[in-house]
Amino acid sequence: MRTTLLLLAGLMAGLAATPATDARGAACPPVAMDGAPLPASRAAVRAGEPLTVVAFGSSSTEGAGASIPAMSYPARLEALLKAALPGRPVRVLNRGIGGQEVNEMLARLDRDVLAERPHLVVWQAGANAALRGMDPQAFRERLVEGLARLRADGADVVLMDNQLAPVVVSRPLHPYIAAALREVAAAFSVPVFSRTGLMRSWEAAGTPPAELLHPDGLHHNDRGYACVAEALAETILRGLRDAAPVIAGR
């Protein structure tokens, strides 16, 4: 276990010293990420178990806009986590289906997510709710239902909000859907991996959203997915590393 923690610490030091690169070798915009609280994932790593992550969501989880499936964010995330945890089995399962909103996701939660017994679920939701004009209160209620079921199963959860895409942010209900997601996350003490905030930080660093989006104005391109994966991997690995003194002392 101590060896694993030293590897994690070394990786994080390397991330701090070397600019992240996207799938084409171009530098990802530099943004410092906080660690997420991941007790189930930390316990799995501590016990030497295979780590299972489920990426749950709609088209931007499935990888719409990527040139090939291997350029989706879940595929890129799996590669980064495997590099950080050499010798340990890591699975990142892509359970994104394009066009779905939270009601449709809940209908397949048991089959596509809970059946895999994940340690961590990254749940991307809200874009299609905004695009379809879903009632924000209904969105909130369905999100609460899903989080309650995930928590009852013992999984860590990270909610992922919408990309800063013109097609989404121009919809009148987008701010209300985004607020509902943040409110539910706070009520459950679940971290939010905010692509909106991340892309605004990238823009402030000199990389406008258009450079990370597909020409459809909605989905990420290869560079966008690669950089999302880099930031999410850092969030996960910092969450594991931050627990190092507790884990090492047991």
Domain CATH for 81: 3.40.50.1110
DSSP 8-state assignment for residue 26: P
Structure tokens at 214: 């597909």
On whether residue 178 sits in a domain, the answer given is yes
* Strands ordered across the beta sheet of 51-57: 90-96, 51-57, 120-124, 156-160, 192-193
Tell whether 234 is covered by a domain: yes
Evaluate whether residue 70 is within a structural domain.
yes
Give the three-state DSSP class for 52. Answer: strand
- Asked if residue 37 belongs to a domain, the reply is no
Q: Please give the model's pTM, rounded to 2 decimal places.
A: 0.86
Tokens 């909000």 sit on residue: 161
Q: CB–CB of 227/22 below 8 Å?
A: yes
DSSP class per residue in 62-92: HTTT-SSGGGSHHHHHHHHHHHHSTTS-EEE
Query: What total of structural domains would you count in the chain?
Result: 1
Within-domain flag for 159 = yes
DSSP H or E stretch at residue 191: none
pLDDT at position 26 is 67
The three-class DSSP label of residue 202 is helix
**98 within domain boundaries:** yes
Rounded distance, CA 35 to CA 241, Å? 8
Does 249 fall in a domain?
A: no
The answer to whether residue 26 is domain-embedded is no
- Which among 46, 129, 57, 64 has a CA at the least distance from the CA of 92? 57
- What's the confidence (pLDDT) of residue 161? 96
47-82: string of b/e by CB count within 10 Å (b at 16+)?
eeeebbbbbbbbbbbbbbbbeeeebbbbbbbbbbbb
- How far is the C-alpha of 163 from the C-alpha of 123, rounded, in Å? 13
Return the pLDDT at 122: 98
Q: In terms of residue numbers, what domain contains 69? A: 2-21+44-244
What pLDDT was estimated at residue 224? 95
Per-residue confidence of the chain (250 residues) as pLDDT tens digits? 444 444 444 444 434 433 455 544 567 888 888 889 999 999 999 888 999 999 999 999 999 999 999 999 999 999 999 999 888 899 999 999 999 999 999 999 999 999 999 999 999 999 999 999 999 999 999 999 999 999 999 999 999 999 988 889 999 999 999 999 999 999 999 999 999 999 999 999 899 989 999 999 899 999 999 999 999 999 999 998 754 333 222 2
Give the integer Cα–Cα distance in Å for 118 and 61.
17
pLDDT of residue 87: 86
